[in-house]
Structure 1
């Protein structure tokens, strides 16, 4: 049960906040900047108003998750830090003497209250509206790109995953007390998941006996991360892998298992729209959605800046119809004429190959026809026929008994003449200079707020993680520009 309205807590120690949490504190600034009542309004319908014991405030639980994203720490550590960090208590609207929640409450909150909400759209909309109200967004251009996130299941082996986490823990220990190096358990050198798990458990047991070092915040944080890694591996061994994650490609040789987040951002570096998909999806087809969501959230969009992935014919036609300029160089491979039944084949700009609807990457390509002839050139992409024979989507795509499976693209020399001419203008060249900004934003999401790896399984959880990470970077950016 949740109350009909948020209650205000009073304490005789509240004046300590004014003394010990300065106005320059980031969490205090965020609390003063944002009216979080929209969270209560959004989630109150998910609670019973007249039955059961009183639930924790949904606003406070949401703020816990926001703190977890801001500082990139585990559930256990965000709760523990809220026990003694006054800036955390202030942000959570707690009285100084008030007890903290149990860390498991955050898991229940995510699963029971947030999973069915469109949190990604809600939080981006609120942060963009705030930026517009503060007069921060003045440009009429958006910059678009996609960034990848590794699945929690990991495309690397369970052994590599555990070794990476234990290595980070040992590194912090050695920095704290180099003398402990000879007192830790011997590392596992065998290619065995069971042995690696046993080593990690022994390492944790050894450290728990040494409270003087394991109680240090920077050590305890790595300990909790390793514990979560052990749980992840155990869960992966007992249950199925992430069913929503798919193989995507960073290049022709390098792949990843996970998700893509397609992002639109203003020149002021405020993210105005985002779409989370599985990893194999192409970048180009999402462009109209990013434009429409940005406009819906309060942006005026007169131009779009992106890489070659966004210069497909459909995008150029859409942009022309809506009087939007596309600052994206034409790629003759994806800038093609109308496709037929195989229009679900997506071009992957990083691998420079097409990907079939089942997520398989072409293994080679060939060009037919001479450049400059009146007849259009054709590029043919060949797929691994052995995979096609076993593919669940082979009906209507692969002809039984065929020795090859290919997909051909006609390279039109006329369709994009206007865009090619636009590329030579000074306006195009000046606008293109802003594209680097979104690369820096992607790096911030990954390196500062843990967006390089999914924290849970499934597309819904990935969207939730994206919502919190994007909301965080938008608020930080607004504070900086103010």
Structure 2
């Protein structure tokens, strides 16, 4: 049954709290600045009208925030609530009230409330920051950081064995004999390979597992129609085998957390887990929106969703957006241009021709309507054809311009322009390929030459500072929970707490400045 803490203190409790809690305590400041009572109305439908009284839902949400303010676990926060006077005051518990245990906290987080409630808390805190004039500008920054999965990254053979053993474990619950026989058959098939050779490639293990799973499907068909735990175990094992054998990119890396993914930051440096993509206000450093994905999802894909998320939630359209080079796909640049948003995204250095001083694409002038091109020698061509290249990054076709070989043969710049191989020209007429949205690229190249652009790049440390705070003080280095959905909720709480603390610091600095 829905229940609210009374919040009324007797004279003794009031005296104790006033004497022991400093006026400048962080929780006192949070209580003065932010209102959490809106959660009562939003969460009321989550509770029954009959039964025992529940724990106050706002108190429970505050407990989840306290976990990430002070980087505590469910067990640790339950203990601190019993002994910490400031915690009890913040949660509106009297001296004699009992707080929730760690099981109650876990139940509230995983079963009582949903993903939308974590989103609601985050957006409501941002709206309060906007109402208090903490977020003032329309200049935003976008970036991402990794959140490591709380799992090991085993070898291919060990990963398969873990998946097979998990399937056998679930079979054992409804047919122990089948589970035992299935594991013996699997081991027997693998042993045959090692009898023939000392080293066996993982592919042999996976092909064997595929055959075993196919035979198992018929034997356990009925269980696969309704046994959720067995379905999950079988599906993970089958997907693991299928993605390995067919060399699919989106490979499973953990049986414990099958939604975590791996990506390579360099040839020797791998990262496993998830990403926290955020968009912040450049001046206040308040996080305005976030998206969470597996780690192998490219950063560039989340730029526009973040911009649109801010527009949808707060009706704020940015004037300019700053981001790393990886976000500088043609699609992103074109989308920002179409939305009339200034792009502060740098370009990768062109390698073609740089080392030997030859001309690059940037030395050729493109007309505004992208219907003609002028070479460094002043020759204009309007000969082109449109080509489409399959790409996940750019959905726009390319335009191939071709210069007449008669001009190129007699051009004084041909040594710096035409491609050579072993001191022989391999092309007669110069060809240049550009995107059909070169208008967006040209706009951003012009912007990149301005002082305003350099100033924006020099402020990139601000968003990095938000990530550093989360990793060092808010427990965001590693996931606490298993799966993308639960990780999203954790990161939403981290982002919410980051905003709360940042807002308090801003208000303090304003008060000091006006004192």
Mark yes or no: TM-score above 0.5: yes
Offset of residue 57 of structure 1: 0.9
Distance (Å, rounded) in 2 between the aligned partners of 1:426 and 1:432: 10
Residue 271 of structure 1 pairs with residue 327 of structure 2 = no
Offset of residue 44 of structure 1: 1.7
Distance (Å, rounded) in 2 between the aligned partners of 1:277 and 1:249: 16
8 Å CA contact 2:337–2:440 kept in 1: the answer is: no
8 Å CA contact 2:122–2:493 kept in 1: the answer is: no
Pairing partner for 2:329 from 302, 312, 315: 312
More displaced stretch, 122-131 vs 258-267? 122-131
Closer, same or farther: CA 469–271 of 1 in aligned 2, 3 Å: same
Offset of residue 7 of structure 1: 3.5
Closer, same or farther: CA 370–85 of 1 in aligned 2, 3 Å: farther
8 Å CA contact 1:376–1:411 kept in 2: the answer is: no
Offset of residue 340 of structure 1: 4.8
Pairing partner for 1:155 from 153, 156, 160: 153
Offset of residue 243 of structure 1: 1.8
Residue 32 of structure 1 pairs with residue 49 of structure 2 = no
Aligned structure 1 segments of 4 or more residues deviating by more than 4 angstroms? 337-342, 369-373, 410-415
Residue 291 of structure 1 pairs with residue 291 of structure 2 = no
CA-to-aligned-CA distance 1:146-200 (integer Å, 9 cap, x gap): 010011224379xxxxxxxxxxxxxxxxxxxxxxxxxxxxxxxxxxxxxxxxxxx
8 Å CA contact 1:263–1:271 kept in 2: the answer is: yes
What secondary structure does 1:286 align onto? helix
Aligned to 1:145: 143
The within-5 A match list for 1:3-402 is 3=3, 7-11=6-10, 12-48=12-48, 50-120=49-119, 122-155=120-153, 240-267=255-282, 268-298=284-314, 299-331=316-348, 340-343=389-392, 370=419, 374-376=430-432
8 Å CA contact 2:66–2:77 kept in 1: the answer is: yes
Aligned to 1:199: none
Closer, same or farther: CA 443–90 of 1 in aligned 2, 3 Å: same
Distance (Å, rounded) in 2 between the aligned partners of 1:65 and 1:154: 27
Larger Rg: 2
Q: Which runs of 5+ in 2 are unaligned?
A: 156-253, 351-360, 362-385, 396-417, 421-426, 508-515
Offset of residue 464 of structure 1: 0.7
Closer, same or farther: CA 70–415 of 1 in aligned 2, 3 Å: closer
Closer, same or farther: CA 464–318 of 1 in aligned 2, 3 Å: same
8 Å CA contact 1:246–1:257 kept in 2: the answer is: yes
Distance (Å, rounded) in 2 between the aligned partners of 1:439 and 1:322: 26
Pairing partner for 1:455 from 480, 487, 503: 480
8 Å CA contact 1:310–1:328 kept in 2: the answer is: yes
More displaced stretch, 287-296 vs 449-458? 287-296
Distance (Å, rounded) in 2 between the aligned partners of 1:18 and 1:147: 41
CA-to-aligned-CA distance 1:325-361 (integer Å, 9 cap, x gap): 110012379x9x9865552799xxxxxxxxxxxxxxx
Closer, same or farther: CA 434–83 of 1 in aligned 2, 3 Å: same
Aligned to 1:171: none
Distance (Å, rounded) in 1 between the aligned partners of 2:114 and 2:149: 18
Offset of residue 123 of structure 1: 2.8
Count of residue pairs brought into register by the alignment: 343
Offset of residue 253 of structure 1: 2.1
What secondary structure does 1:59 align onto? helix
Distance (Å, rounded) in 2 between the aligned partners of 1:53 and 1:474: 35
What secondary structure does 1:14 align onto? helix
8 Å CA contact 2:134–2:506 kept in 1: the answer is: yes
Offset of residue 269 of structure 1: 0.7
How does the TM-score come out when normalised to structure 2? 0.62
Residue 434 of structure 1 pairs with residue 459 of structure 2 = yes
Distance (Å, rounded) in 1 between the aligned partners of 2:99 and 2:470: 28
Closer, same or farther: CA 118–313 of 1 in aligned 2, 3 Å: farther
Closer, same or farther: CA 415–89 of 1 in aligned 2, 3 Å: closer
What secondary structure does 1:83 align onto? helix
Aligned to 1:465: 490
Aligned to 2:211: none
8 Å CA contact 1:272–1:297 kept in 2: the answer is: no
Aligned to 1:221: none
Distance (Å, rounded) in 2 between the aligned partners of 1:339 and 1:281: 23
8 Å CA contact 1:377–1:411 kept in 2: the answer is: no
Distance (Å, rounded) in 1 between the aligned partners of 2:449 and 2:117: 41
Distance (Å, rounded) in 1 between the aligned partners of 2:152 and 2:31: 36
How does the TM-score come out when normalised to structure 1? 0.66
Closer, same or farther: CA 243–39 of 1 in aligned 2, 3 Å: farther
